[in-house]
A and B are shown apart, each in its own frame.
Chain A
């Protein structure tokens, strides 16, 4: 037996506030209420103040972060029912082209085009991807990765909807700060709605499809119909993001289907952590500003960004959010090894 004196180990204890489940708490004091509210209220308050404080370029960065956040949330919803998408750009582009097309050709105001694009984009994406939902895993990922890229080619070839030049001089939203608020509010609403949804019965079924689809089927539930519904929800959120960006930049081009819109959301989820939506939100709020501040590095920006992403995933596969959550709910002390 080697001498173990002076060797310490980390001793972790959960705080006693949690009862039975992750979402049910036993609250005994104001301090504990504060303890629970802080991680929720602080980011919300912070995000609500930001559009008023920032302006110009950084306000646009905030809009970008929210847009990527929405795409990441829509990704996470799909993932929670076992659909592993690499084509958020499809949702984004569908929304962008619907809103831009309606505005450019029919001269409808954003007040009409954005909701129309949201619902229409959702339907379109659900319709397009419906044949594929019977397949699992990487297969679905590949198909979704290909779709937007090929649609981009389609627009390039046929020259419809502006072709390679795109459509410009679309109607803007009234005021940039308003747009920023719209983005932030939509982002927060989506985040909390999805968090609520996934803990409801409906969400439980979705997660069960991911965990054990045969069990769900034997319960008499049509899993393909449920998956199509999830696709519609996720598609709508992505399409809203696309419509928002189109009107914000008053421009629409075939790059709305670019790879960036597919990859960045996945990266955000991978960094933030899968399954809780908060992870997706956190990831995008870190990655987008980081990517913008890396612009000073010029050409190496994306390369460095990828390297950071790889390192963080290899070092912390569970994701930042789950790690932080664990740390927040635990005491950690050093105890001597006996």
Chain B
């Protein structure tokens, strides 16, 4: 029992972390809560499906292409829609959210619903880890999660763009004064967030079938993880996803399977009561000003 709990708890946690990674990156850098995150996630899945089934492109190039396309969409999204309303929190939120809903609705309208829409796995089959049968795809999910986090850390700490990102996150005005263009960083952060959503989609979606409602699901889980872990902190985000991921498996094991979906709610309620800003979030009681 315990090995299963560990292995699948780990897999579920990493899936949650993958959901939240892009969202939290964009928010951490440019303070932009991208509520179209879930829609971009599922859109990239359908894009890959179309590339594979209608254009006959093999899986790997189709996946890469889909990640690139989704990233570009995020970039364009910033310049077309968000540029003019940057800084008005309400407008930003409504625009990203309605863009997301529009994407999901158009997908549904196109008839992307049903079991035929299923991405192939990269590798069929599986192995036994400590007596627990796991398929290669879930191991791939684990690997992707770990590699992405390491790559992101390297990117943010050791490249020029990454350093600019951090500068913008720490202090926008000072960053502006040393020649970092706010809109470029904003649009790049959105593009990266979108691309990360696409990567997550392409490794996680083959585990099941695709459906546009997954878009809402992903957004909800990304938010839950961010709330529990603390909004700005990547480590907190990872902690949050482990808490919820293991919590779900444990709840299914010890209380009953249907209680799995309650775990995020319970986690949020408990965290709010104890530490309203999340496990590792900075306590933002009053408006911050410089």
A contacts B: CB pair < 8 Å:
yes
Q: Which A residues have a C-beta under 8 Å from some C-beta of B?
A: 79, 84, 86, 131-132, 134-139, 141-143, 145-146, 149-151, 153-154, 156-157, 212-214, 259, 263, 266-267, 269-270, 274, 298-303, 306-307, 309-310, 313-314, 317
A-B contact count (CB 8 A): 127
CA distance A310 to B224 in the complex (A): 26
> In the complex, A267→B96 CA distance in Å?
12
| Per-position 1/0 for B61-101, Cβ under 8 A of A | 00000000000000000000100110011110111011101
Any chain A CB within 8 A of the CB of B146?
no
- Chain B neighbourhood of A145, CB < 8 A: 223
Tell me whether A303 and B272 are in contact (CB under 8 A).
no
Asked whether, in the complex, the Cβ of A259 is within 8 Å of the Cβ of B216, the reply is yes
Q: Is the CB of B95 within 8 A of A310?
A: yes
Contact B90 A270 (CB under 8 A): yes
Q: List 9 A-B contacts (CB under 8 A).
A: A141-B93, A142-B226, A154-B262, A156-B261, A157-B261, A214-B286, A263-B98, A303-B106, A314-B85
Contacts of A156 in B (CB 8 A): 261
User: Quick check: is B276 within 8 A (CB to CB) of the other chain?
Assistant: yes
In the complex, whether B231 has a CB less than 8 A from a CB of chain A is: yes
Q: CA of A300 to CA of B103 in the docked complex: distance in angstroms?
A: 11
- Min CB distance A281 to B, Å, is 17
The yes or no answer to B189 lying at the interface (CB within 8 A) is: no
The reply to whether B89 and A84 contact each other, CB–CB distance below 8 Å, is yes
B272 to chain A, nearest CB (A): 5
Give CA–CA (A300, B31) in the complex, Å. Answer: 31
Do residues B262 and A135 form an inter-chain contact, with CB atoms below 8 A?
no
* Known contacts A134-B276, A153-B261, A310-B102: A267-B220 contact under CB 8 Å: no
**Interface status of B42 (Cβ within 8 A of chain A):** no
Closest to A75 in B: B90
Contact A131 B85 (CB under 8 A): no
A303 pairs with B105, CB closer than 8 A: yes
Are A266 and B276 closer than 8 Å at their CB atoms?
Answer: no
Determine whether the beta carbon of B108 is less than 8 Å from that of A270.
no
Would you call A153 and B109 a contact (CB within 8 A)? Answer: no
B259 CB-CB contact with A under 8 Å:
yes
Which residues of A lie under 8 Å from residue B128 when comparing CB positions? none
When the two chains form the complex, which single residue of A84, A136, A142, A301 contacts B287, counting CB atoms closer than 8 Å? A136
> Closest residue of chain B to A159, judged by CB?
B258
Q: How far is the CB of B273 from chain A (nearest CB, A)?
A: 6
> Quick one: which of B184-239 are within 8 Å of A by CB?
216, 220, 223-224, 226-227, 231
Pairwise interchain contact A266-B85, C-beta atoms closer than 8 A: no
**A307 to chain B: closest CB distance in Å?**
6
Q: Are B85 and A146 in contact (CB under 8 A)?
A: no
Query: Which A residues are in CB contact (< 8 Å) with B54?
Result: none
Q: Chain B's nearest CB lies how many Å from the CB of A86? A: 7
Residues in A with CB closer than 8 Å to B265 are 146, 150-151, 153-154
On whether the beta carbons of A310 and B99 are closer than 8 Å, the reply is yes
Chain A, residue nearest B274 (CB): A131
- The answer to whether B90 touches A142 (Cβ under 8 A) is no
| Contact between A313 and B91, CB atoms less than 8 A apart | yes
Contact partners of A135 in chain B: CB under 8 A: 276-277, 284-285
Whether B247 sits at the interface, judged by CB under 8 Å, is no
A255: min CB distance to chain B, Å: 14
